[in-house]
Amino acid sequence: AQSVTQLGSHVSVSEGALVLLRCNYSSSVPPYLFWYVQYPNQGLQLLLKYTSAATLVKGINGFEAEFKKSETSFHLTKPSAHMSDAAEYFCVVGRGSTLGRLYFGRGTQLTVWP
């Protein structure tokens, strides 16, 4: 069975501070992992995707995530937060098969203070 746990439904940081959004997954097979971002009143946009080619994945807008198999984690980070990063972030796991259904975490709302 697949599941995704995002630790912290709300995270607040100051502009310029480190952003760390935590995600742990459980999967019976090697997973496919994604982070999506949702800006207010918009659909979801892909931030980055883990492809197994490298454990550190770089995405758009300066975000990156590190896959740690031993910890079953895929935390999202950004060295310096910007006001425009305020959004909801979803950690997502795929089943590692040809079946396309994805499993979404409950989301983490990121607030950036000036």
Partner 1 sequence: AGVSQSPSNKVTEKGKDVELRCDPISGHTALYWYRQSLGQGLEFLIYFQGNSAPDKSGLPSDRFSAERTGGSVSTLTIQRTQQEDSAVYLCASSGQGDSNQPQHFGDGTRLSIL
Residues binding partner 1 (CB under 8 A):
32, 34, 36, 41-46, 49, 51, 90, 94-107
Nearer to partner 1, 15 or 103 (CB): 103
Min CB(43)–partner 1 separation in Å = 4
In whole angstroms, what is the distance from residue 33 CA to residue 43 CA?
Answer: 19
Instruction: For 34-57, give one letter per residue: b (16+ CB within 10 A) or e.
Output: bbbbeeeeeebeebbebeeeeeeb
Min CB(112)–partner 1 separation in Å = 20
Nearer to partner 1, 36 or 67 (CB): 36
